[in-house]
Amino acid sequence: MMPVAARAQRDAFLRKLASPPAIMGILNLTPDSFSDGGRFASVDAAVAHAAAMAAAGCDVIDVGGESTRPGSAAVSASAELARIEPALTRLTSEVGVPISIDTYKAEVAARAAQLGAVIVNDVWGLQKDPAMADAVAAAETALIIVHNRAEKDAGVDIVADMERFFDRSLDIAAKAGIPRARVILDPGIGFAKTSAQNRAAFAHIAKLKERGLPILVGVSRKRFLGADAPALETLPGTIAANLAAAALGASIFRVHDVADHVAALKIFFNLRNP
């Protein structure tokens, strides 16, 4: 059972989603992530960066021990745990914001929850590791379901594929006893999608909102529209994309540059909801 303090932290974050924006700061404890691989490999560097993101106003910090960039090599659960355990032990006690664990492995999710993580961010939406749904249910964490595919296929109707994927993931979650009120959806921008499919998935955010669940977007520093939009790799490009996602109904924004997004999104939502 989740400790009382962790449960309170989880529930406070979920309540925050009713009045967006919610900013998720990225903390990669990997040597090979596409943007910041290796920068926060030491525990002190990781904790310092997390503290800086918290001070800048992020609402949750997403910790990852395995890169999900295209072409990255998979790592074992033991290797992933070796990367994240020392930092998580300190993050959950020293940084005053909720911690999310970015993993698709049940063993890693369960251990991260034991160390104080209150959200599991599964880039395979419970469909990679058969034990993941039960692990999330037992840990009582919130859950982010990310749409993903094994490989790009330009012939796939990505919107229909996404809807089927979410139907299956939500069914798995429900059968495991994960309350729907703890579930967040992520269209998986940049995950095994062509440029055209990324555009379609992005445009579909407004329709996904009809499921009645919060929507997270993770476009930070990704050239998800292809070679025609290299500016997305820059801060202004990322902010522009996140503002477009906010206009479509997204409420959680997974970003590297926390302070700039806190300012931009605060202005956007204040103007939209005076």
Catalytic residues: 222, 254
Tokens of 92: 């959950």
Tokens of 208: 């996904």
CA pair distance 43, 30, nearest whole angstrom: 12
DSSP 11-69: HHHHHHTTS--EEEEEEE--S--TTTTTTT-SHHHHHHHHHHHHHHT-SEEEEESS--S
Contacts of 76 (CB under 8 A, 6+ apart): none
Contacts of 54 (CB under 8 A, 6+ apart): 25, 61, 95, 96, 97
CA pair distance 68, 65, nearest whole angstrom: 10
Check: CB of residue 235 under 8 Å from CB of residue 260. yes
- 253 DSSP β-pair partners: 23, 217
